[in-house]
Amino acid sequence: MQIKFHSLDAPIGVFDSGVGGLSVLKHIRELMPHENLIYLADSKYAPYGNQTAEFIQARSFKLADFLINQGAKALVVACNTATASAVAGLRERYPDLLIIGMEPAVKPAVAATKTGVVGVLATSGTLKSAQFAALLEHYGQGTEVVTQACLGLVECVEKGELNNASTLALLKRYVEPLLEAKADTIVLGCTHYPFVRAMIESLVGPDVVLIDTGAAVAKHLRNRLQEKALLNQSTNLGEASFWSNSDADEAQNVIRALWGPDVELKKLLA
Which pLDDT value is given to residue 40?
98
Digit-coded pLDDT (tens) for 3-34: 666 689 999 999 999 999 999 999 999 999 99
Q: Out of 14, 38, 74, 79, pick the active-site residue.
A: 79
- 150 tagged catalytic: no
Which pLDDT value is given to residue 2?
59
Which pLDDT value is given to residue 19?
97
Digit-coded pLDDT (tens) for 45-94: 999 988 999 999 999 999 999 999 999 999 999 999 999 999 999 999 99
Digit-coded pLDDT (tens) for 135-191: 999 999 899 999 999 999 999 999 999 999 999 999 999 999 999 999 999 999 999
Asked, colleague to colleague, whether 12-102+215-267 and 106-212 share their fold, the answer is: yes
Q: Domain map of the chain by residue range?
A: 12-102+215-267, 106-212
106-212 CATH fold:
Rossmann fold (3.40.50)
Which pLDDT value is given to residue 203?
98
Q: Which SS3 state, helix, strand or coil, does residue 244 take?
A: strand
Residue 200 exposure: Cα atoms within 13 Å on the Cβ side: 24
Distance of CA 87 to the CA centre of its chain: 13
12-102+215-267 maps to CATH 3.40.50.1860: yes
Which pLDDT value is given to residue 248?
87
Instruction: Give the per-residue SS3 of the chain.
Output: CCCCCCCCCCCEEEEECCCCCHHHHHHHHHHCCCCCEEEEECHHHCCHHHCCHHHHHHHHHHHHHHHHHCCCCEEEECCHHHHHHHHHHHHHHCCCCEEECCCCCHHHHHHHCCCCEEEEEECHHHHCCHHHHHHHHHHCCCCEEEEEECCCHHHHHHCCCCCCHHHHHHHHHHHHHHHHCCCCEEEECCCCHHHHHHHHHHHHCCCCEEECCHHHHHHHHHHHHHHCCCCCCCCCCCCEEEEECCCCCCHHHHHHHHCCCCCCEEECCC
Which pLDDT value is given to residue 4?
63
As a whole number, mean pLDDT of residues 236-246 equals: 96
Listed residue (190, 235, 245) closest to 49, CA to CA: 190
Q: Does the pLDDT at position 230 exceed 70?
A: yes
Which pLDDT value is given to residue 5?
62
- 79 tagged catalytic: yes
Q: Which SS3 state, helix, strand or coil, does residue 98 take?
A: strand
Burial of 238 (0-12, 13-18, 19+ CB in 10 A): middle
Which pLDDT value is given to residue 49?
83
- pTM comes to 0.94
Which pLDDT value is given to residue 270?
75
As a whole number, mean pLDDT of residues 224-236 equals: 95
As a whole number, mean pLDDT of residues 121-144 equals: 92
Q: Does the pLDDT at position 246 exceed 90?
A: yes
Which pLDDT value is given to residue 50?
83
Q: Out of 12, 190, 204, 210, pick the active-site residue.
A: 190
User: d(Cα 139, Cα 128) in Å, to the nearest integer?
Assistant: 17
Which pLDDT value is given to residue 269?
81
Q: Dump strand ranges (E) for 197-270.
A: 209-211, 240-244, 265-267
> 194: cis peptide before it, omega within 30°?
no
